[in-house]
């Protein structure tokens, strides 16, 4: 079973809505075919309030990543418009993200990339094996999500290289714009697909064994 839209399955009694991607499937065609994404079957399970909170937590974590991505874009626009100088940009960065050793645009990007990579690593190492064991029918979806994580990690490397190049050639935003567009398309599409496929299993099964009662 495949789907080109996240969250097609109609789940009874869940009441949690995945966040749709703002991009059509054609926007990610360079990296993957959304029509070939496996989709889980609908569920008729009942959920506790705690279970729903567990499912919602995935969206909440993803919302943080979406907010960080917006902040990164806003910072680039401020630099492009000359609205901030290096000192102001450093202050802005310090307020938005984990402190780094160097207060630079490149350090901000590197920090964001680490947060995203850690999120995907946690899923691949801990969450996905639990879901695979608890509900073997999710295996195709989990395999596809893990594959997309690898693709996004490659896109993140491109973003990082673009910011490094910008620091040596100030004023040239072409590489940054292209890299951020790629990250927008892939990440927002992936997060939406993941929510559509995993919010319900997480509400039913938890992030780890015996979490949902």
HEC letters along 95-138: HHCCCCCCCCHHHHHHHHHHHHHHHHHHHHHHHHHHHHHHCHHH
Of 73-77, 132-136, 191-195, the range with the lowest mean pLDDT is 73-77
Q: Is residue 143 part of a domain?
A: yes
Please state the domain count of the chain. 1
Q: Is residue 179 part of a domain?
A: yes
Per-residue pLDDT band for 106 (boundaries 50, 70, 90) equals very low
Summarize the confidence of residues 37-53 as an average pLDDT.
Answer: 91
Which pLDDT score, from 0 to 100, does residue 74 have?
85
Q: Is residue 10 part of a domain?
A: no
Q: Is residue 11 part of a domain?
A: no
Q: Is residue 18 part of a domain?
A: no
Give the torsion through C-alpha atoms of 162, 147, 54, 136, to 10 deg.
Answer: 180
**How many whole angstroms separate alpha carbon 35 and alpha carbon 32?**
9
Q: Is residue 65 part of a domain?
A: yes
Q: Is residue 185 part of a domain?
A: yes
Percentage of the chain modeled with pLDDT above 70: 73
Question: Which residues constitute the domain of residue 180?
Answer: 46-205
CATH number, domain of 139, equals: 1.20.120
Euclidean distance between the first and the last CA atom of the chain, given in angstroms as a whole number: 30
Q: Is residue 103 part of a domain?
A: yes
Which two tokens mark 128? 């996905």
Residue with more model confidence, 179 or 7: 179
User: How many CB atoms neighbour CB 200 within 10 A?
Assistant: 24
Per-residue pLDDT band for 160 (boundaries 50, 70, 90) equals confident
């Amino acid at each position: 079973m495949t789907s080109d839209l996240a969250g097609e399955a109609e789940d009874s009694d869940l009441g949690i809505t995945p966040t749709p991607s703002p991009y059509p499937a054609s926007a990610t065609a360079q990296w993957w075919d959304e029509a070939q994404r496996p989709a889980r079957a609908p569920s008729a399970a009942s959920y506790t309030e705690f279970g729903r909170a567990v499912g919602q937590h995935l969206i909440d974590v993803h919302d943080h990543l979406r907010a960080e991505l917006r902040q990164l874009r806003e910072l680039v626009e401020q630099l492009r418009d000359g609205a901030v100088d290096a000192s102001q940009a450093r202050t802005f960065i310090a307020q938005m993200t984990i402190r780094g050793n160097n207060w630079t645009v490149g350090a901000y990007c590197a920090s964001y990339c680490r947060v995203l990579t850690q999120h995907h690593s946690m899923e691949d190492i801990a969450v996905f094996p639990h879901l695979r064991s608890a509900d073997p029918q999710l295996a195709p979806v989990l395999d596809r999500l893990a594959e997309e994580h690898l693709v996004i990690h490659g896109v993140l490397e491109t973003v990082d290289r673009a910011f490094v190049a910008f620091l040596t050639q100030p004023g040239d935003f072409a590489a940054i714009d292209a890299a951020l567009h790629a990250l927008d398309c892939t990440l927002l599409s992936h997060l939406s697909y993941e929510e559509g496929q995993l919010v319900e299993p997480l509400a039913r099964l938890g992030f780890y064994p015996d979490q949902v009662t």
